[in-house]
Amino acid sequence: MPSSSTLTTTDKNRVRSIIPAATKILAASLARIYFAYPDPLSWSYGGLQGALVLIADRTRGAHFFCLVDLLGTRGILWEHEIYKDFDYNQDRLYFHSFAGDDCMVGFVFPSEGDAKNFFKQVTSRKEIKSKSKADSAAPKKKSITKGGTIDKSLISAPTAGSFVHVAHMGYDAEKGFTSSGVDPSWLSFLSGLEAQGIDKDVIAENMEFIKSFVRDAQKGDVQKNGAPKSDPVANGGPKKKPPPPTPR
């Protein structure tokens, strides 16, 4: 594990025992996590503190922030994936921030040295290649899992902006898909599931899963194409970040 002025030998051993062996630890330090929530212009301490670890996970093909519990037995308290073109800000030597899924997230470090190293490791990380050429060439098998549930691989991700809000969507074994106030492209998309050989009863039982998956896939596609992330706290997110909290 990389050196840290704030983690003891006991702390480091605990981190190693919790972080999966298949991942590589790039940086680690004591830290507290703050959120610009519910007020987007003010930082609030989220009650989360411990060993903040930056890892490279080849299994999942991405980098992650993980907060490890050093006082109890809860393991990983919090985790956040670092996506491509991730914008990580050094607002102060001891304070870093970035846009989370729902609001701005901030890290407060007790040591400026650890904070500086952590920032360097985050901003200089290299892309992870998780699959070999043999894995990529292998054809994917589409199937229905046991218990009558639908595997996500059976559903093609929709194109961003191709669907409107789902006012009502249902499925009847005899009548097929029924809708009210729904974009017609929904019906075309979902009807394709039957062409995959999926039983009508299975589709009916998994309607909520299907709708949830399509919404998530559409949201991910929008974010991938550079559109701003939604913020339930403030529509469009805060225009400016709150000032960093005082280190403790």
* Three-class secondary structure of residue 69 per DSSP: coil
What per-residue confidence (pLDDT) applies to 35? Answer: 97
Residue in this structure with the two tokens 């309607």, named with its chain if needed: 207
Q: Which of 184, 154, 157, 153 is nearest to 169 (CA)?
A: 184
- For residues 158 and 218, the answer to whether their CB atoms sit within 8 Å is yes
Question: Please, is 137 exposed, middle or buried when counting C-beta atoms within 10 Å of its C-beta (0-12, 13-18, 19+)?
Answer: exposed
What is the token pair recorded at 230? 């939604």
Distance in angstroms (rounded) separating the CA atoms of residues 218 and 227: 12
Ordered alpha helix ranges (H), the chain: 9-18, 112-123, 133-137, 184-195, 200-205, 207-224
In this structure, are residues 21 and 89 in contact, taking their beta carbons and an 8 Å threshold? no
* 68: phi then psi, degrees, rounded to nearest 5: -95, 135
Strand-pairing partners, residue 55, are 25, 64
Q: Which residues pair with 177 in a beta bridge?
A: 171
Cβ within 8 Å of residue 98, ≥6 positions away: 86, 87, 88, 89, 104, 105
What are the average pLDDT values for consecutive 10-residue runs of the chain, which has 248 residues? 83 95 94 96 96 95 97 96 94 96 96 96 88 51 48 49 49 58 56 66 70 62 49 46 74
Q: Tally Cβ neighbours within 10 Å of residue 73.
A: 6
Distance of CA 214 to the CA centre of its chain: 16
pLDDT tens per residue across span 171-181? 555 656 565 55
Q: Retrieve residue 56's tokens.
A: 């490279």
* Rg of the chain taking only CA atoms, in angstroms: 22
Tokens for 86, please give them: 């991730």
The pLDDT score that the predictor gives to residue 241 is 74
Q: What pLDDT, on the 0 to 100 scale, is given for residue 225?
A: 54
